[in-house]
Amino acid sequence: MMSKALAVILLLAMAIQVIRPLNLPGLRHRRDFWKIAVFAIALMMLTVLIRP
């Protein structure tokens, strides 16, 4: 359940970044949405490793 919620939140963050940049450090331009995707992949890999 948590991984699905996390995936939805990160997908929304990527969509918002493309529409209007978040203006966070490292996310100042629309083209920086890939950084959120890389973070999402790393976070999902971490959750898979932590799961029993």
Query: Could you tell me the pTM of the whole model?
Result: 0.73
The pLDDT assigned to 22 comes to 85
- What contacts 9, CB < 8 A, 6 or more positions away? none
The pLDDT assigned to 52 comes to 73
What's the number of domains the chain is made of? 1
The pLDDT assigned to 19 comes to 92
For 3-41, how does the pLDDT look when each residue is reduced to its tens digit (9 = 90+)? 788 889 988 998 998 898 888 888 899 888 899 989 888
25 Rama sector, left if φ>0, alpha if ψ -120 to 50, beta otherwise: beta
For 42-52, how does the pLDDT look when each residue is reduced to its tens digit (9 = 90+)? 988 888 898 87
The pLDDT assigned to 2 comes to 72
